[in-house]
Structure 1
Amino acid sequence: MVIFHLREALPRILRSPSRLPSSSHAPHPHLVILHRFLHSSSSFAVEDYLVSRLGLTHEQALKAAPKISPLRSSARPDALLAYLESTLGIPATDVGRAVVIEPRFFCAKVKTLAPRIADLHDLGLSRDEIARIVHLAPESFYTRLLRRKLEFWLAEFGSFDNLLQVLRWGTRASILCADLDKVVRPNVAFLRQYGLNISDFAGASVYNIRLFTMNPELLKEAVQRVEELGLNCGARLLRQTLPVVALTDKDALAKRIQLLHNIGFSKDDVLTLAKKQPNVLALSEQKIQGNLDFLMKDVGLEVSYIVRRPALLKYSVERRLLPRHILIKVLNEKGLLEGKQDYYVTASLAEKIFVEKFVHRFENHVPGFAEDYASNCLGEATDAKD
């Protein structure tokens, strides 16, 4: 509508003589609108730049572009690329990876980045180490407290490599953007009362690290819930169970426990299962129900057997448990196996070992044996935790 009105009014505006010198009055309102419209339409194509200069795919560019502030030209990103390459040796394609993580980084000003990078140099980080932080945590360069936060985390993790591992997990925003004084330090002090330190979680799990950056009140509530469940039996067990309880919705966790009770697990069974394999409590109700249906109805396992071997609840029925169960059953029916095979032993073997022991060994006895098993296990390698 704006374009239509401008087209209609423009000839009349241009024909209208000025009654007073232009220096004495503001320009015609329609000319102001026209100027703004033409000026905004002259902005360069961000998506094309992301693809041609930074090496993003068209899909990545389409996803990132709406999150980038409108730019009138390529001057700012050009300056950013030149600065990062000359200062840290980061090529444009690597900057592109940072932009995929944090699209706003595309609009970062050199005058904003330069002091942050200088601070990190003064902290003792090398050119390559700073470049790695740009790659993995570009949004961290928006905070003026970056040096202080990195100094803290480096001291806690003990080395830059340990910190880098955490950044690779994708916890960069919570780690480098969390408030040290209001969140991180109170959580560190609280967990130390239970014998837990940040260094205990370095290299462990992305979820464990989040304990130190979550709301302090929620962390205290999570510890209380662990104690109420009867799972607090020392620092080692708390280190395993607390992340699951703290980062799982309270109602969802209650439903999973109730589901186990309904299936036949006693309170002690649930506690034993949770102590042996706390991550089982983070599985969906559908996953738990599906695995238990198969294990108890198809395989014929008792609750007591599963309680002692809770890893069975984590494996994929379709791509692991069922194919192996069928294969072992066929071998038993043909009398090719000596003695009864323990179900958990066959289910928990690494895929390569299982295939060598139960597939390749007998493929000449049963035509198409290996091919049938392989087709049933399509995708199993990405699912099983060996």
Structure 2
Amino acid sequence: MLRLRSCTLTQLLSSPYTSHVSPLHRLLSAAAASGISPGFAAEEYLVSACGLTPAQALKASAKLSHLKSPAKPDAVLTFLAGIGLSTADVATAVAKDPLLLCAGVERTLAPVVDGLTGLGLSRCEVARIAVFVPSKLRCRSIVSALQYYLTIFGSMDHLLRPLKRGFWLLSSDLERVVKPNVMFLQECGLHDCDIAKLCTHVPMILKINQQRLRAMVACAKALCVPNGSGMLAKALQAVAFYDEEKIATKVEYLKKTLRWSDTEVGIALPKAPMVLTYSKDRLQRVSEFLISEVGLEPGYIAHRPALLSYSLDGRLRPRYYVVKFLKENGLLHRDRDYYYAVTVTPKVFMEKFIFPHKEAAPHLAEDYATACRGEVPARFRFT
């Protein structure tokens, strides 16, 4: 038995999938040469050969109780090392899917890897898939599924982002659920890039039944966001976790807090549907600042709802202090208003509002940095 296992490992370590020596290779080679006794102690193997913690090994070992020898797990570990998984990667993959150790290398794993590389994926990308969704490495259907998703997401880099979050679309019914949902969203005017972004934020969007998806789209349109609008994806993201009653409640809160009329709500939401997802505390604090301290009219905010999306302490308040300081000292050009100051990038803000006043206000940059940290410099305390 020991001689056979040693032979098997030697053959595997010289296979096309193990072209370089890694710590995992050395671990397996040492195991083969150390005279380990026959049989298979799953918990001990999972700790010593796979790098799992004792607690992980205890949980995972139940799924390996049918194994009588380490021959198949040894072969799988060697294969995984050959496609680029580190010892830590193997531990992560096996902890997620202990049955990966039971997969046939020649019958299952190698054909799947060959299929994925045939799609243009690098060995590194295949290795990352093995870490994020190891159970799918045991399913040949992953090849056709990924081929389809790559047409939506555009690249493996984009697809790997949701995979990191436990993306379950690879196990969804592609033909009966996913493809019809994608087609419906395309009919609503969404491009593949819109669908990919939406799916990253709301993974369930392609898995739910189409009746519910149509209801979500209808809800988004009720916000006055029409088909083909660039805001439709944002609106779907905003309403994804709310029913009609919750949305109506949130709209009433917006009207009360921001002093908006129905007309002003109808102006603001199509431009910034994500306002519906903001917490009540955030909306209360921002509205009080913009209306009471800055002195903006509710209608002005409704036409520029992007103001509500910025951090109060990190952007709205510090930039307001700068604008007010410049106005108080007669340094602000007449076409520079607060909304412009808030919406420009940090780099542009410095170029337009800070750097030109180095001589007249030498401490302005320092005071602005202090305000961004949540403090109020003495020069920004206006009477």
Report the TM-score when normalising by structure 1.
0.70
Is structure 2 residue 306 aligned with structure 1 residue 314? Answer: no
Aligned to 1:255, which of 229, 249, 270?
A: 249
1:1-386 correspondence to structure 2 within 5 Å:
43-44=43-44, 53=51, 68-69=60-61, 79-86=75-82, 88-96=83-91, 98-99=92-93, 103-105=95-97, 108-111=100-103, 115-122=108-115, 124-125=118-119, 126=121, 128=123, 129-141=125-137, 143=139, 145-154=141-150, 156-157=151-152, 159=154, 161=155, 163-169=156-162, 170=164, 172-196=166-190, 198=192, 200-202=194-196, 206-207=200-201, 210-234=204-228, 236-248=230-242, 250-263=244-257, 264-339=259-334, 341-366=336-361, 368-378=363-373
Q: Which moved more, 1:365-374 or 1:251-260?
A: 365-374
Amino acid at match of 1:150: L
Cα shift at 1:47:
7.1
Larger Rg: 1
Amino acid at match of 1:191: L
Cα shift at 1:164:
3.5
Determine if contact 2:96/2:134 at 8 Å carries over to the other structure: no
Q: 1:81 to 1:371 in 2, by over 3 A?
A: farther
Q: 1:324 to 1:309 in 2, by over 3 A?
A: same
Give the secondary structure class of the aligned counterpart of 1:173.
Answer: coil
Cα shift at 1:322:
0.6
Q: Which moved more, 1:319-328 or 1:72-81?
A: 72-81
Q: Measure, in 2, the Cα distance between the counterparts of 1:212 and 1:246.
A: 12
Unaligned runs of 5+ in 2: 1-40, 375-383
Give the secondary structure class of the aligned counterpart of 1:191.
Answer: helix
Amino acid at match of 1:319: G
Q: What are the superposed Cα offsets for residues 188-214 of structure 1, whole Å, 9 maximum, x if unpaired?
A: 343344344545534676226642223
Q: What are the superposed Cα offsets for residues 156-193 of structure 1, whole Å, 9 maximum, x if unpaired?
A: 4275x2x4303213455232122224421332343344
Aligned partner of 2:5 in structure 1 is: none
Amino acid at match of 2:308: L
Q: 1:45 to 1:254 in 2, by over 3 A?
A: farther
Report the TM-score when normalising by structure 2.
0.70
Determine if contact 2:326/2:332 at 8 Å carries over to the other structure: yes
Q: 1:166 to 1:172 in 2, by over 3 A?
A: farther
Q: 1:345 to 1:68 in 2, by over 3 A?
A: farther
Determine if contact 1:105/1:138 at 8 Å carries over to the other structure: yes
Q: Measure, in 1, the Cα distance between the counterparts of 2:360 and 2:90.
A: 57
Q: What are the superposed Cα offsets for residues 58-93 of structure 1, whole Å, 9 maximum, x if unpaired?
A: xxx69967864467999576654322112x133324
Q: Measure, in 2, the Cα distance between the counterparts of 1:336 and 1:62.
A: 67
Give the secondary structure class of the aligned counterpart of 2:97.
Answer: helix
CA RMSD of aligned residues (A): 3.8
Amino acid at match of 1:108: L
Amino acid at match of 2:112: D
Q: Measure, in 1, the Cα distance between the counterparts of 2:74 and 2:371.
A: 52
Determine if contact 1:244/1:278 at 8 Å carries over to the other structure: yes
Cα shift at 1:318:
0.8
Amino acid at match of 2:103: K
Unaligned runs of 5+ in 1: 1-40, 55-60, 380-386
Determine if contact 2:172/2:178 at 8 Å carries over to the other structure: yes
Q: Measure, in 2, the Cα distance between the counterparts of 1:376 and 1:89.
A: 48
Determine if contact 2:178/2:206 at 8 Å carries over to the other structure: yes
Q: 1:339 to 1:191 in 2, by over 3 A?
A: closer
Cα shift at 1:344:
0.7
Q: Which moved more, 1:305-314 or 1:105-114?
A: 105-114
Q: 1:299 to 1:68 in 2, by over 3 A?
A: farther
Determine if contact 2:205/2:213 at 8 Å carries over to the other structure: yes
Determine if contact 1:183/1:212 at 8 Å carries over to the other structure: yes
Q: Measure, in 1, the Cα distance between the counterparts of 2:58 and 2:358.
A: 56
Determine if contact 2:161/2:200 at 8 Å carries over to the other structure: no
Percent identity, aligned pairs only, is 31
Determine if contact 1:219/1:246 at 8 Å carries over to the other structure: no
Cα shift at 1:348:
1.0
Q: Which moved more, 1:125-134 or 1:196-205?
A: 196-205
Q: Measure, in 2, the Cα distance between the counterparts of 1:261 and 1:62.
A: 55
Q: What are the superposed Cα offsets for residues 218-244 of structure 1, whole Å, 9 maximum, x if unpaired?
A: 212212222444333445443332232
Determine if contact 1:320/1:377 at 8 Å carries over to the other structure: yes
